[in-house]
Structure 1
Amino acid sequence: MVMMMVMMISLRLPLHNKKHDVLLSIYAPTPQADPAEKDKFYTEQCCLTQKIPADDKIIILDDFSATAGKICEAWKGVLGKHGIGNCNN
């Protein structure tokens, strides 16, 4: 059995004019994790985001355990040209 650490932390920051930013720090299960654990994680993530007021801006800081690879053209503005390997699904 592989033990995994899954973490979700949220922080709601007040801005001017009664607006808010919500920071979500998310550490997702690895690809080797049990499928039931992955489903539970994404269900909890969905529930968390649905509780955020619609007027709030959401900023997600994540580690979704993904491999982006070297295909930086597919991720312009997000991924630099120094990725490792190939892009996964």
Structure 2
Amino acid sequence: MPRPVSDRIMTMRLPLSKDNFATIISVYAPTMTNPDENKDAFYNQLASVHSGIPRTDKLLLIGDFNVRIGRENGKWPLVMGNNGIGKCNSNGEILLALCSEFELIVTNTMFKQKDEHKNTWMHPRSRHGI
């Protein structure tokens, strides 16, 4: 059963087998234009939700993070692969730090794809994608 945490975070715990579970955290993160206090509140709430999940659960953190993490993975080799796109923005740095803290991987950077398939949105003027 889905459990709403806020207007930006929802969780669902699914049984996989007798004693195994998967927890899905679905998010819609604040955009770059949101004030820093909104971003901080969101990521603090996400960290709180994460801390309440049993460590034995399989975890999927999915959603729209409104970030660009770039292609340079030298600083984050355990968090991202070599197949990002563009340059990291400030929201991307926040997400990468969170993934590092939680020992998560940004999986879509692990797979080689055409650049046009890597963005979910393109800024109409700058043509920068996220």
Please, what TM-score do these two structures have when normalized by structure 2? 0.53
Residues 21, 39 of structure 1: alpha-carbon distance in 2 compared, 3 angstrom cutoff: same
How many residue pairs end up in the alignment?
84
List, as ranges, runs of 4+ consecutive aligned residues in structure 1 with deviation greater than 4 Å. Answer: 68-72, 84-88
Structure 1's 11 and 80: CA in aligned 2 closer, same or farther, altered over 3 A? farther
Give the unaligned 5+ runs of structure 2. 1-6, 73-81, 85-108
Assess if the C-alpha contact under 8 Å between 1:69 and 1:87 holds in 2: no
Gaps of 5+ in 1: 1-5
Query: Are positions 1:25 and 2:26 aligned together?
Result: yes
Q: Percent identity?
A: 24
Q: Which of 1 and 2 has higher RCO (CA within 8 Å, sep 6+)?
A: 1
* Alignment match, 2:62: 61
Q: What SS is found at the alignment partner of 1:73?
A: coil
Deviations 1:60-86 (A, max 9, x none): 111011246799833241764214555
RMSD (Å) for aligned C-alpha atoms: 3.1
When structure 1 is superposed on structure 2, of 58-67 and 40-49 the one drifting more is 58-67
Residue 34 (structure 1) aligned with residue 35 (structure 2):
yes
Describe the shift of the 1:80–1:8 C-alpha distance in structure 2 as closer, same or farther (beyond 3 A): farther
> Which one has the bigger helix percentage?
2
Partner of 1:3: none
1:18–1:28 Cα change, 3 Å = same
2:115 to 61, 76, 81: 81
Higher strand share: 1
